[in-house]
Each structure stands twice: as C-alpha cells, then as structure tokens.
Structure 1
Amino acid sequence: MPKVHSIRMATVLMAGGVSLAAMQQAQAAGFQLKEQSAQSQGNAFAGATATASDLSTIYFNPAGMTRLKHSGMDTNISYIVPSSTLTLENSSNPTSGLGTPLGNGNGGDAGGGVFVPAFYGMYSYDEDLKFGLSINTPFGLSTEYEDGWAGRYHGLKSAIMSINVTPSVAYRINKNLSVGAGVSLQYVEAELTKAVTDVGSANIANDGKSSLQGDDIGFGGRIGLLYEFNDATRVGASYQSRVRHNLKGEVEYKGLSAATIGALNGAGKQSVTHDASAKLVTPDIFSIGVSHDLNEKWTVLGEASRTQWSTFKHLQVLDNNGVEDENIYQNYQASHFVALGATYRHDKHNTFRFGMAFDEGAVETEHRTVRIPDADRYWLSVGYGYTADNFDVNIGYSYIKAADASLYESNTGTDGMISGTYDSDVNILAVNATWKF
C-alpha cells in the first residue's frame, strides 16, 4: 500500500477505529456496552457479577448459573439514545498551515438512538451442573457528523457492529463455591469515514471522502467464581479476556480531482480503492460484585470493574505485504467503574430496583478526539420486575450525564485543527422477557 494511503488509513483508524463505536458518552469507557440486562440496568449494574438471579449472569459471571433452578431463555432489548454536541471554539484548514478557519459548523448532534439486543439460554443438567449460551453485543454503536462541519477532516462517520457468541458451563464445587467458564467467538465489522482535502484541485475548498470498511473474527474467554457465605451474602468475580482482531478490508477515496486520484494510483478513475488491514484488541475486563440481603424485602448491591484500555497504546497499520507502515501512539488508560444499588421486593410478584454509578473515562484531555470525546460519566438508574411461575418481565432505565469534555485536536498538513467542548448525556431504556421451563 503506498505511503499516502497508509498514512490516511492510520489517521482514520487512530481516531475512529480505536473507539470504533464511539457513542462515546453512551455506556462505558471507550466503546464498551454494559447494556446486556434490563434487570441489572435498574441497579446501574451494581452486583451484576454476584446477583445471579437472571440468565444474564451467563455473560456477567457464568458461575452464577448454579443459582438458577430451571432451564430457560431470555431476550433483552436496550434502546440507547445518546446526545453529544460540540461548542466549537476554533478550527483551521489542513492545507493552509493551520491558518484558514473552517467555519462555525459543529457537526450537529453526533448521537442517535440505537437498539442493542442480547439473548441468553441455559440448560439445567442438575442442581450442580449448568450449560449456557449468550449472544450479545459487548462493543458497538456509532457517531455521524454533518458533511460540512469544522472537524470533517478528523471524522464524519464511525460505526461498528460486534457480535459475541459464548457457550459456557458452570459447576457447583460445594455449597459455598461455584465456578464457570466460557469460550467467546467475537465478530467485528467497522465503517469509518472522513473528509479529505483535494490537493490536486485549484480550489482547495473542494473535499473528497475516504472510507474504511473491514471485519474480522477473533476468540477469547471468560471465567467466573461465585462464593456464597450464606443464604444472604455472596461475592462474585469474573474475568473477560482481550480479543485480538486483524481488521481486513479496503480504503476508498472518491470525490477528488483527476490529479489527486492519479497521485493515488487511480489515473483515469473516479475513485480509487486499496486493500488494508489494522490490528485491534478489545480490552480485558475484571469485575467483582457483592450482594447482601438485609431482610426479606431489601437487598444491597455493589460492583467494581477495571477495563484494561491500555491495549490501545499503539495502533499498527500494515500494508499488503504485512510490512508496518505506521505505529501510532494512542495512549488509552485503564478505566474503572463503581456502582451501588438496592432492590426492594414488594411481594413475590413485584420488585423495584435502584442504582447509581461512576464510570471513569479512558482517555486524557490531551488525547481526546472528535470520534471519541470520552469523559467521566455519572449514572442514575431505576427498574421494575414482574415475576410469574414460568415467566419474568423486567424494565430498566438509566440517565447518564457526562462531564464536559474539552477538545484540542491538531495534525498539521493532514487534518487541520479543531478545538471546543463537548456536552453529552444518554438515556437508556431496557426491557427483557424470560421463559423458564
């Protein structure tokens, strides 16, 4: 791949492929999606690795399956509505030594509603041995800015779809200790676009567009422990491994002058396309949770997790021969999530849930980009559940407010400069239905 192509691809991937999903302020640091259970949503995911009261434990802590008596299946849908707007302070054109402003366009609201599904199934072999399957989206979502906005050379659209398929098994060793494990197959598909200056045109205001599309399948694993001190108190811990991906696809340039297309080895064409690849590693996640029944009515919950986002220290871009063209420093940091919650059982049918959480951002101010204006987030959640003999329904709602996120992104000669402050929040509504048999 010619050097100019690898550089542009590296720039696109650094800003977007690292965040990929970048509905950054939406759920968790970076592009992680915690929204895998309406029941846990109501508690702001406090106690998610210890509660083990619904089938989503197959994802959060497979060892928790030993607490579930019946075989069953669960369908969960989360509707996530993030809003992220930039108060623009300054910008400049990449072809003019960072001297020409790019206008006042802030790109509009980069958010937009999206549905995130999850499915769980479990077969209860006996009281001590359980088999489970989870199919969900642990990383995902998208951002899209208006075409003419001031930061268009840094990013227009970032979209990702991920699918995790994880068969799991759990076994109760004794009355106190259960263990669980699963093997994950993870599919990732990404699309990233940005504007490109047309250096071959007499009018430097002319823009083209570059787009990257790629996908890959990777493998990982999950292990969990659940220790029950007594009928009222238990602690759970889980570890989800990193998954290594080598996204393979192509980069396309279009909307450029014939001279620029020719310089990109596309003489006589309207557009030019090149094969490309880039390495992506989803992070390790370690979680620990606690659940304690105060009495027959009230349960208090706690959760803490660490997501090892430092897997994004560098982004490596390879040409068609596997030779490294670029290795770009990204400087993501490990992030932490802490949640407290409570559950109130009004009677055997009706349950109410409450929760709050702090979610630490994965990127420091000096490394924040338009594709991932990541910042600390604060959660408030409520939920309701109805339980019947063979059927459960849960609803969970969260409001998330992100701290103001200042931005200064500059790359002389390729993307220009943009600065400002992001204001972001998120509304999330989740519903699930569980059948027991």
Structure 2
Amino acid sequence: MSLFVFLKNKYLVCAVFVFVFVFFLFFIFFQNAFAVPVQYLTNSYLAGNAFAGAVTSANVAVMDSNPAILAQLSAPEVYISDSYIRSATNNSNAVATQSLSVSGITEAVSGQTSAGQATSKQVPSVFIAWPTSSVVSLGLTIVTGSSLNTEYNRQWVGRHLNTGMKLMTLAVTPIVAIKVTPQLSLGLGWHFQRNKFQSTGAAGLVGQASNYYSESATVWNQGFLLGGLYQWSKNTSIGLSYNHIFVTNLDATGTYSSKVSAQFPDTVNFGFRHRFNEKVVVMLNLQEVLWRQFYLQQHSQIAAGVTSSANSHLNLKNSHLLSLGMAYQLNRRNIIEWGVGVDDGKFTTSNHRLWLGLGLNHYFSKQASIGLSYLYGSPQTSQVAAVNPININIGQFVNPMVIQQINTLTMQSKNTIQILALGVHYRF
C-alpha cells in the first residue's frame, strides 16, 4: 500500500473533518446569527427603526449598543424583550476539493452541490438601568439565545464540514456610565458570554458519506463596549460606540479533540438624532463590522502520533450598514416608528441587503409601555470562498513527516431574515 493511500485511508479523512468541523461550525454561526448586524439580535425598539436609533436614543433598550445612554436616564428602568428570528439560507453551486503535498493530486468532493436550511431563533433579553446619582448610572443586560439549529443533507459536498449544529448562548454585560458634562456622557460595558455548541458531520469525501462524527464545546469569552453620547443642542445628539471581543479559545471534545483560537470582528457605530418638533424625530446610524480581523487557528489530536494544525481564511471583507429611521407620535399614548437600512454584506462578493422595519409603541402611562415590531431583511446573495491549509504531523514512523493538505470550498449562499419582536418597558 502506498503512503498516500495509507494516509488517506487511515488519517487524512479524519484530519479533514476534525479541523473543518469547528471551522464550519463557526462559519455557520456567523452566517446565520450575524446575518443580523452583530449587536442587534435583541429587542423590539431597534427592530422597529431598523437599527437607526442604536447609539443616540435616550432609551434603556439601546444600552448594549451604547452604554453612555445610561447617564441620560433620571430614574430606574427595566426593559424586557423577546425576539423571534427566522433565517432561511440556501447554498448552491458548491464545489469542494482536497489536495495533498505528497502527491500533488487534487480531488473533487462528490455529492450534492446544493443544501438549504431554515433557522429559527428566540432571543429573550432583560435590560436594567439604575442611576445612582446625577452623575453615575449602573446597568446590566442579560441576553440569551436558543435553537440556532442547522441541518444539511449528509450527501452534500460540504458534509465533512457540518451536517447538523445546535447553539445555545448566554451574554451578561454589566455597564457603568458617567455624565462628564451636561452635554457629554461616557459609558463602559464588560461582556461575559457563554456559547455551547453541538455538531455532527460525515467525513466520506469522494464516495458516499461515512465516518460520522459528533463534537461539542462550551466556551466563555469576554469583551468590552465603549460608548459616548454628546448632546449637541436641546434637540440634536450624536453618539459613537466601539465593541470588541477578546480572542476566544475553545476546546472541542467528542469523536476527536481539538483546540481552537478565534478572533471575532469588532463593531463601530456612529449615530445622529434630531427632534424636529414634539411629534417627529429622525435617526441615522452607520455601522462598520471589521470582518478582516476574523481568523481561526486549530490544533487537533487525530490518532496516536498524528496531529494536525491549521489556519482558516474566509476571504471576508468589512461590512457596512447605513440606517435611517423616524419616530412619529400619533397621539398621547401611541408612537409609530419605521426605518430602512442598507447592508453591503461580508463575503468576497455580495449584493446589498435592504432592511425594512416597522414598530408601534403604546404607553399605558408615563411609567409603562409595550412595543411590537417587525423587521424584514431582503434576500442577500453572497459568493463564498474558503481555503483551509492543514499541516499534518505524523510522528509514529522512523522519520517523522509533515504533510500539507489544502481544502477548498466555493459556493453561492442566499439568505433571508425576518424578525418579530415584543418589548415591555417600565420606569420606576
């Protein structure tokens, strides 16, 4: 038996799917969860104005996108929201290949070239604000996510990457805000986030699906959120925020074991808000997601004396979201909001996505209100290109070997999103 055949039969098939399982697990997570702009999975207020009021609205509902908002609040407030997110993705024209440095042979992965899946995710959240003085305010946000599930046909050419995945999340962010001057407020939030993954897949590449595997991982990561709000005049304010997640280290266990290091993208927001009169308020927000920071590194134990290490590249570009929104007071108890946004996507080539939001807020009194909103994200088609070089170290022979394997995947991905959100607000 040749060395090439021996390695392919005994080790390399395992190496392929052990690595790309975690890689594609994160890939699916970002494609679906973060097809909605990065920070805004959570509440009815931002869905109603298509994120236009993200960093300038004097509303407790936006404190996890600009913590400086807290310093503008004069009384303790609680906001509870539940969002139902429906995301439909269809991958088509997929082509996957693998090649080995020892042979120079490139093989095409056989199977179905298209795969579709629909994801439903419920995101309940709680926002608590507590002004301790006229200068300092404290806050806490708790956001949970469940049922971010994906499932693909086992004969899809990407089956070695992932055929099924479940994700559960919990994010807690304590916040402190200070009113530096009557016009300027600054805020800082610290993220504590827990992600639990479960994934399955099949490693048979050239022939029928085989060598099924399962993996799971639980990881805590941290980050920070900085924000500023400046009251330019009585009716005009501008806001700025910066969100950063530290490098995340993950240990995956199951059929095989892997260690992963990942850097997630930063997010920057700039917003403008102006009140024309007692009834009309306009909002503008520009968001940039720094996807070029995104990378993955992995080290896996495949078998006795056989390990693999890899870096992955998605060829991502930075993405931008420009949103314009308006709030109109219909009467003493009802305010209607609407917004429109344009998102240019994050993959190598991607058409623009249009966001359309509509919301209604009803005030039972000066203290209590309820809001209902709907947000629609138009179909967005992206050309995805992934190149994954893997170094395989074999130490059980007399002369240890290092072999490089290159895996590629290209495909078209089309995604549509709908969000229905309900929120309840109370001011003490």
**TM bin (shorter chain):** 0.7 to 0.9
- Are positions 1:213 and 2:204 aligned together? no
- The reply to whether residue 185 of structure 1 matches residue 192 of structure 2 is yes
Q: TM-score, normalised by structure 1?
A: 0.80
Q: Is the 8 A contact 2:314 2:385 kept in 1?
A: no
More contact order relative to length (CA 8 Å, sep ≥ 6)? 1
Alignment: residue pair count:
395
Distance 2:313 2:96 in 1: 23
Q: Secondary structure at the match of 2:18?
A: helix
Matched, 1:301 2:283: yes
Superposed counterparts of 1:352-363, under 5 Å: 352-363=336-347
Aligned partner of residue 174 in structure 2, secondary structure: strand
Match for 1:389: what amino acid?
K
Equivalent residue in structure 2 for 1:135, among 123, 133, 142: 142
CA displacement, residues 296-315 of structure 1 (integer Å, 9 cap, x when unaligned): 11111000111122222x32
C-alpha spacing 1:410/1:287, structure 2 compared with 1 (3 Å): closer
Q: Counterpart of 1:306 in 2: which secondary structure?
A: strand
- Pair 1:418–1:141, CA change in 2 (3 A): same
Structure 1 contact 318–325 (Cα < 8 Å) conserved:
yes
Q: Measure how far apart 1:157 and its partner are.
A: 2.2
Aligned-pair CA distance for 1:182: 1.6
- CA deviations 1:112-139 (Å, max 9, x no partner) are 3221111111112233321100112599
Q: Within the alignment, does 1:424 sit opposite 2:415 as a pair? A: yes
Indicate how the Cα distance of structure 1 residues 84 and 248 shifts in structure 2: closer, same or farther if over 3 A, else same: same
- Cα deviation for residue 8 of structure 1 reads 2.8
What are the within-5 Å matches in structure 2 for residues 69-80 of structure 1?
A: 69-80=74-85
Secondary structure (helix, strand or coil) at the match of 1:11 reads: helix
- Alignment-mate amino acid for residue 172 of structure 2: V
Code of the residue aligned with 2:79 in structure 1: it is D
Matched, 1:395 2:380: no
Candidates 317, 331, 334, aligned match of 2:298 = 317
Query: Hey, what does 2:237 align to over in structure 1?
Result: 234
Q: AA paired with 1:60?
A: S
Matching of residues 352-391 of structure 1 within 5 Å: 352-365=336-349, 376-387=352-363, 388-391=365-368
CA distance in 1, matches of 2:362, 2:344: 33
Q: For the residues of structure 2 that align with 1:332 and 1:138, how far apart are their CA atoms?
A: 25
- Choose which of 117, 123, 128 in structure 2 pairs with 1:116: 123
Which structure 1 residue ranges, 5 or more long, are not aligned? 253-273, 366-373
- 1:147-296 → structure 2 map (5 Å cutoff): 147-197=154-204, 204-252=207-255, 274-296=256-278
8 Å CA contact 1:91–1:419 kept in 2: the answer is: yes
Structure 2 unaligned segments of length 5 or more: list them. Answer: 1-9, 390-403
Provide the rounded CA distance (Å) in 1 between the counterparts of 2:351 and 2:216: 27
Identity %: 23
How far off is 1:345 after superposition? 1.0
Distance 2:248 2:83 in 1: 26
> Would the aligned equivalents of 2:17 and 2:160 in 1 still touch at CA under 8 Å?
no
For residues 179 and 408 of structure 2, the distance between their equivalents in structure 1, rounded to whole angstroms, comes to 57
Pair 286,140 (structure 1): closer, same or farther in 2 beyond 3 Å: farther
Q: What does the per-residue CA deviation read over 1:391-412, in whole Å, with 9 as the maximum and x for residues that have no partner?
A: 1111111110133234577889
RMSD: 3.3
Residue 258 of structure 1: aligned partner: none
Q: Is the 8 A contact 2:20 2:160 kept in 1?
A: no
Match of 1:39 in 2: 45
Structure-2 residue corresponding to 1:58: 63
Q: Which residue does 1:8 correspond to in 2?
A: 17
> 1:360: how far off?
2.5
For residues 339-360 of structure 1, the C-alpha deviation after alignment (integer angstroms, 9 at most, x for no partner) is 1111101123100001011122
Residue type at the aligned position of 2:52 = A
- 1:82 is matched with 87
Q: Which has the higher strand share?
A: 2
